[in-house]
Amino acid sequence: MSLASLPDICGQEAAIAAATNHSNPIFLNNSNLNLASAGFACALHMHQPTIPSGDQLIGHLQYMFEHQGEGDNHNASVFADCYGRMGDFIPDLVNQGCNPRIMLDYSGNLLWGLQQMGRQDVLDKLRPLACDAKYQPYVEWLGTMWGHAVVPSTPIPDLKLHMRAWQQQFAAIFGIEALQRVKGFSPPEMHLPNHPDMIYEYIKALKECGYRWLLVQEHSVERLDGAELHHDDKYLPNRLVAKNSQGESIEITILIKTQGSDTKLVAQMQPYYEAKSRAEQKPRPELNGIKVPALVTQIADGENGGVMMNEFPRDFPRPWSEIKHSSHGVVGYNGTEYLELLAAAGVKEADYPACQAVQQHKIWQRLEPEQITTVAVEKAIADLKATDHQFHMDGASWTDNLSWVKGYENVLEPMYQLSAQFHRKFDALVQADPAVTARSDYREALLYNLLVQTSCFRYWGQGTWTDYARELHRRGMELVRN
């Protein structure tokens, strides 16, 4: 493939690092909000995977348009409209004197697929939300893994490659200044690793890529003593603490998506109505003696099902009009805005409650601090797996009844094989000459490495989707072997 036909996912690592690694305020100087009685934050996740089609790679949205008779592919045009509709809703609400908020999470696959299809109309609707100062107080873009990879089963060396690939593509479409404002991270499938070394490297990569906070599912974390999160703490920022098998610790701020993966929660603006009930509760929560608003946080797929297609356009505008004319003290926030307002009020990150990935307490209860080594940690994990049927190191996602590992050896083993071969071929070359990442052979090999890790090739079960993964693996291996 020519360089021009490949997504813009590498080659500008130094410039991207310089743009993203800063601590400047994003919303604080432009926010028209204060710390209210309670708040809510809604995010929309948008994704379509990249699949092989003949000798080409295409976005699944394009496949839907080309195969209208299959499944719900007749909704292709509605899906495409959903990807751009916030570009209509936000300006309309602002022009009505409302004060809306929305966080947007678009996968790299989807952004590239829209480019491939020539759907500049969709990207042009989104551009003001990323670039126009008039709308910046209302919209927050969230970073994610470029290829929609579930983090716990992603090879550790590829975590940062996904993050940087998404950042470079976003900057290529919307500009480096827009990228500088991306400080929150939305993980595909809300998946959080719980293996000590994996989560440590994950948080390390996030921080190296300039991210300040991470969105997590409530049941994927626990208190440091293993207890469930206190109910009220789910509505506050928390500190996610990770300790690796060398005893090193790292942490990052998290906002917690409360239970429920149903799209109705966002489509019908349930977070707003829950926030109204939180505002009526006395006393208000405190951090370091400072009264702060509880934050009800939810995310939903922005295009799937009749709920998001039909009810969201009807129900999204209602709270903003009601807030405009009410005095109940409930407002919508974006994640970074909320955290910056807390900091301006004197709340420090050290004041947030501390938590860790679920089930980690079982490991650390078996080891004294001076006993922590890689061998000791792996022995503790092996012993727990043998004696505790509820213990696992698969991480946790938006659902407890779906494994991204069990039964998918036919996808995972080739995925790890391709990753290892990619790094074997290129790592030393890149270390000797960083300009290698700007070459077309590197970019194409990187593309296939990231694509094979897409969660859809496991989410939809065995069959067509696992066949897609095997074909992408085959092409990727040809590239890195030649």
pLDDT in tens, 102-146: 999 999 999 999 999 999 999 999 999 999 999 999 999 999 999
Predicted confidence at residue 461, as pLDDT, reads: 62
| Identity at 288, one-letter amino acid code | N
Q: What is the DSSP letter of 437?
A: G
Query: Is pLDDT above 90 for 465?
Result: no
- pLDDT bracket for residue 402 (50, 70, 90): low
The correct answer on CATH 3.30.750.24 for the domain covering 3-356 is no
Question: What pLDDT, in 10s, does the model give residues 201-240?
Answer: 999 999 999 999 999 999 999 999 999 998 889 999 999 9
Predicted confidence at residue 403, as pLDDT, reads: 54
Question: What pLDDT, in 10s, does the model give residues 147-205?
Answer: 999 998 899 999 999 999 999 999 999 999 999 999 999 999 999 999 999 999 999 99
List the structure tokens of 464: 């067509």
Predicted confidence at residue 56, as pLDDT, reads: 95
pTM: 0.95
Predicted confidence at residue 214, as pLDDT, reads: 98
Could you tell me what percent of the chain has a pLDDT over 70? 96
Query: Is pLDDT above 90 for 399?
Result: no
Predicted confidence at residue 396, as pLDDT, reads: 77
What average pLDDT is seen over the chain? 93
Query: Is pLDDT above 90 for 81?
Result: yes
Q: What does DSSP say about strands 50-53 and 184-185: parallel, antiparallel, or unpaired?
A: unpaired
Query: Is pLDDT above 70 for 88?
Result: yes
Could you tell me what percent of the chain has a pLDDT over 90? 80
- pLDDT bracket for residue 463 (50, 70, 90): confident
- The residue-averaged pLDDT of 36-58 equals 95
Query: Is pLDDT above 70 for 433?
Result: yes
Predicted confidence at residue 345, as pLDDT, reads: 96
Predicted confidence at residue 393, as pLDDT, reads: 85
Domain limits, the chain = 3-356
Predicted confidence at residue 280, as pLDDT, reads: 87
